[in-house]
Amino acid sequence: MLEVIKFLKKHNFPTVRAGELGNGLGLDHNIIEDFTTNNPTNPSKVLMEVVNYWLDNDLKASWNRLAEALDSCGYGNAARSITGSTESPSTDTRKHLSNASCD
């Protein structure tokens, strides 16, 4: 999870758009609303909750899926840096994402 958060920060993804990212990742609106309600003054925590929930519950979680969600939020440059990146995810993140299926 932390590697995904670091990636989003590196590409200046605004934490206040965590709900929009969650929608792009296919999270249920009620789940996102719960995260927002529980952390009304902490958008960074909402983003961490969104990413964590996505990684733990989406059987299709992958870097490519994250790229699609970022593109749908208007962050095409960040999305392209995933799909064309030579950066390799850490072993833990890669293991989680490959166990989750895609990539």
CATH code where residue 8 lies: 1.10.533
User: Residue 82 has what pLDDT?
Assistant: 84
Measured between alpha carbons, how far is residue 32 from residues 11, 16, 24, 77, 78 in Å?
Answer: 22, 12, 11, 25, 22
Lookup result for tokens 């833990």: 92
Residue 12 structural domain: 2-100
Structure tokens at 50: 């969104």
The CA R_g of the chain, rounded to the nearest whole Å, is 13
User: Residue 99 has what pLDDT?
Assistant: 43
47-60 residue pLDDT tens: 999 999 999 998 88
The count of structural domains within the chain is 1
Q: Which helix (H) or strand (E) holds 64?
A: helix 63-72
Task: Name the average pLDDT for the chain.
Answer: 83
Report residue 69's pLDDT band, with 50, 70 and 90 as the boundaries: very high
4-37 residue pLDDT tens: 999 999 999 999 999 999 999 999 999 999 999 9
pTM of the model: 0.78
User: Residue 94 has what pLDDT?
Assistant: 40
